[in-house]
Structure 1
């Protein structure tokens, strides 16, 4: 567009005229058709009436003309066509982003060879030369890995006082590779929970206890983590894993999710009548899973009955809650199955007695499903175990008068639960953590003696650290606040009932500063269960400095090894059928970056 239009605008009522912005004049655009319009009259008006502005116009026009007619040199022309050097700052940035994209989104390394991806990048930046798969694997990933590892190492060294770990062993179904994991979590000085993955190391040979101990010691040595900094290692209930912890001299606790799996399987699902009903349901769902025609017919029936179209859940024998979800999906589609059986053939039929049994099993397992879901969250602590087991046992006991038909199931399950968690309240890793959780304190121990014993152990640890300066205790305790949150589930209501009115076990012989601090803390109302315990200690770490230091240690422990299991879920996305020849070292590198790169991304931006 001509520079002259800086001084004119098209007339709103007549496009053949232009209005001067400098005076009221209306100037013809030189024709009656758009194709004949020109700017000659506008320039002439500017020259005759506005000489200063005309001079600006001439200067601007000459400048634009010089730029538009200036030809590129031969060197500039070739530079616009040639590829950027690999060391070019923009190329380095793109290559880093490409490598991060492969890691974070589980993309195969062969992505850089794909025609569609190469065309896409060529349109975005024609001068960028996509690096080879080998360059990404041998240069870029190790470079990023080293940077992230250095960042994680600095985080660990900063908060090396007490770190908790999870570990597990996983074998790939698509390649002959076994990995042993090591994840770490701790509470930093701001009472923020930090979680990192340290290893998913190749595990060759027999998985004996001694071999596990050796692998763990090597992994701790790699990160310069002394055993004195290991608060606890959460592992499964396998004998070789327990032996490995003993041989390595590491404190450990069982994964509560695995323990619940054993309790439910042994105490309920192993009963003959229930196992038969579950087996029948499994066959029916298997029929629909293997027949698209049968599934299509079932969906048509669901629509006819006005029911939502849902996929049926298939259970996994090693996960009792998957059996719960399978039975739940069967009950939801009971009417649809009835109609289907009247029109088409099923491999087996569910009797009225089995339908009734399934409903009772769902009723009795509902608290366990809720508990398992809560315990499997990433912010569940070891302090949740004792209260949760106490509440579930209370719920089961309250079921005694509900339905005589579930009496045997309830008693068997309650006995299995008590047997599997019999030593929990005597374990300081659980007991002291529960005392230091402001939502629970001493309210959820099964008897006052267990609570008193844990309090004495906590007092001994506080006295051991008595040389450190304690916060002045002259201030008044924080105001007790009313509970505004309403229990939403059966478990929640029992939690509220137990926490609400409890005779305190406070009161010690020697009125030391630590005693006063502990008694003041225990004497206050418990926090709502929906609160975050670490947030409480972030606010009260000055008021209860000695207790806060202990909370930073004991609330670092998770209650399950779910973090390791989540890690191996990512591993199954990396070691796939299309990447079954991926080396274990490369798989570990990809897993390490997948989990930890988000913590260090700002260093790359």
Structure 2
């Protein structure tokens, strides 16, 4: 009979709800718009897969399924946090392209199975003045919602005065973001040493970014020179490692870039001494790139690494002999060492860091540059 009559059994409520939940999960995790369910081709695709399933409307997703799913996840997160013996926080604020300010608060803890977990507790628009008092009030309200205000051991923030003030008002130990401080040290060193070369590289990258014909010729030039067809990267001061990424990518594409600029008779060019500066700078900055990547890991504890990584960077700088470096790169090296010593020279004096280092079985006492420090931990 089914070969002659199109018979479809009705879908069970349980199955339908399961599909609704998966649809919502897909939309949220893959950043699809809710209007996806109104797209005719998507509707036809779903109908072909399962004729008996009825897609929920956009209104149902927004007003019913999403709030229900949010409340379910919220209860699960609250339950996990209640069983955590200690919780640390990270917080940051930013302004989007529409000039709207946002603040986010993330909790980090070890669950009952001994696994390191991280949950974004709140990310919301912040319309108040960005004072330490207002930020502290916002954080306190979030902590109260999850009932973990008595479990907080420390909060990691950037070096902004208002963030440090908020931590002080809440009486929570504050740890400056290591990667942020390192980025500031590197950016300051670059500005005082190789800025002229970096600015010229920026102009070259912008030239290829804005001109489709020039970019096409660059791609065509990469092929006969057996170079990977890699796009040039533009640096953004607030994005860590972006200057290194830009210089490194330009250095990889040196021959295609030189050939293309010569072919286009462009006024933009770099002489041999400037290419030499780029090469030595990339070699020097690679260590800072690797440290930033290492310290930004989300799946491992990083506080205990900070003292060790500081000394590694200082030691690495000594491996670059001044005699073989261009003048501007020698200045870069000097400024990097000065910046590291200024921002991290007293890093072992922080009691929280020292305790973390001492408790890490990989380091313990050997991680301290000053043997007297671990006795105070």
Matched, 1:416 2:336: no
Instruction: Give 2:168's aligned residue.
Output: 246
Extract unaligned runs of 5+ from structure 1: 1-67, 455-605
Instruction: Give 1:147's aligned residue.
Output: 72
Look up the SS of the partner of 1:181 in the other structure: strand
Instruction: Give 2:202's aligned residue.
Output: 282
State the TM-score, normalizing by the size of structure 2.
Answer: 0.92
Matches within 5 A, 1:33-44: none
1:440 aligns with one of 347, 363, 366: 363
Instruction: Give 2:241's aligned residue.
Output: 321
2:313 aligns with one of 356, 381, 392: 392
Structure 1 distance, partners of 2:342, 2:78, is 41
Instruction: Give 1:95's aligned residue.
Output: 20
Instruction: Give 1:428's aligned residue.
Output: 351
1:124 aligns with one of 45, 49, 52: 49
1:146: Cα distance to partner? 1.1
Look up the SS of the partner of 1:398 in the other structure: coil
Instruction: Give 1:355's aligned residue.
Output: 275
Structure 1 distance, partners of 2:358, 2:247, is 38
Matched, 1:368 2:288: yes
Structure 2 distance, partners of 1:339, 1:398, is 34
Extract unaligned runs of 5+ from structure 2: none
1:253: Cα distance to partner? 0.6
Taking a change above 3 Å as real, the CA distance of residues 453 and 402 of structure 1, as seen in their structure-2 partners, is farther
Taking a change above 3 Å as real, the CA distance of residues 92 and 188 of structure 1, as seen in their structure-2 partners, is closer
Instruction: Give 1:111's aligned residue.
Output: 36
Structure 2 distance, partners of 1:344, 1:186, is 56
Task: Provide Cα deviations, 1:544-599, integer angstroms capped at 9, x if missing partner.
Answer: xxxxxxxxxxxxxxxxxxxxxxxxxxxxxxxxxxxxxxxxxxxxxxxxxxxxxxxx
Question: Contact conserved, 1:178 with 1:203, CA < 8 A, in 2?
Answer: yes
Instruction: Give 1:270's aligned residue.
Output: 191
Question: Contact conserved, 2:83 with 2:112, CA < 8 A, in 1?
Answer: no
State the TM-score, normalizing by the size of structure 1.
Answer: 0.59
Instruction: Give 2:152's aligned residue.
Output: 230
1:243: Cα distance to partner? 1.4
Matches within 5 A, 1:515-534: none
Over aligned residues, Cα RMSD in angstroms? 2.3
Instruction: Give 2:266's aligned residue.
Output: 346
Instruction: Give 2:89's aligned residue.
Output: 165
Matched, 1:214 2:131: no
Structure 1 distance, partners of 2:325, 2:100, is 50
Taking a change above 3 Å as real, the CA distance of residues 132 and 189 of structure 1, as seen in their structure-2 partners, is closer
**Higher mean Cα deviation, 92-101 or 322-331?**
92-101
Structure with more contact order per residue of length (Cα contacts < 8 Å, sep ≥ 6) = 1
Instruction: Give 1:197's aligned residue.
Output: 120
Task: Provide Cα deviations, 1:111-167, integer angstroms capped at 9, x if missing partner.
Answer: 1111111112222232332221111111111111111111111111111x2111111
1:446: Cα distance to partner? 1.8
1:82: Cα distance to partner? 9.6
Task: Provide Cα deviations, 1:164-202, integer angstroms capped at 9, x if missing partner.
Answer: 1111113232x4543211111112354321221211122
Which runs of 4 or more aligned residues in structure 1 lie more than 4 Å from their structure 2 counterparts after TM superposition? 80-84
Question: Contact conserved, 2:24 with 2:61, CA < 8 A, in 1?
Answer: yes
Structure 1 distance, partners of 2:27, 2:221, is 44
Matched, 1:306 2:205: no
Structure 2 distance, partners of 1:113, 1:143, is 21
Instruction: Give 1:492's aligned residue.
Output: none
Structure 2 distance, partners of 1:186, 1:320, is 26
Task: Provide Cα deviations, 1:388-407, integer angstroms capped at 9, x if missing partner.
Answer: 00111111133346635444
Question: Contact conserved, 2:192 with 2:335, CA < 8 A, in 1?
Answer: no
Structure ID, larger Rg: 1
Structure 2 distance, partners of 1:276, 1:326, is 15
Structure 2 distance, partners of 1:193, 1:116, is 42
Taking a change above 3 Å as real, the CA distance of residues 308 and 128 of structure 1, as seen in their structure-2 partners, is closer
Question: Contact conserved, 1:183 with 1:196, CA < 8 A, in 2?
Answer: yes
Aligned residues: 373
Look up the SS of the partner of 2:198 in the other structure: helix
Task: Provide Cα deviations, 1:513-554, integer angstroms capped at 9, x if missing partner.
Answer: xxxxxxxxxxxxxxxxxxxxxxxxxxxxxxxxxxxxxxxxxx
Taking a change above 3 Å as real, the CA distance of residues 176 and 320 of structure 1, as seen in their structure-2 partners, is closer
1:320: Cα distance to partner? 4.9
Question: Contact conserved, 2:108 with 2:116, CA < 8 A, in 1?
Answer: yes
Question: Contact conserved, 2:187 with 2:237, CA < 8 A, in 1?
Answer: no
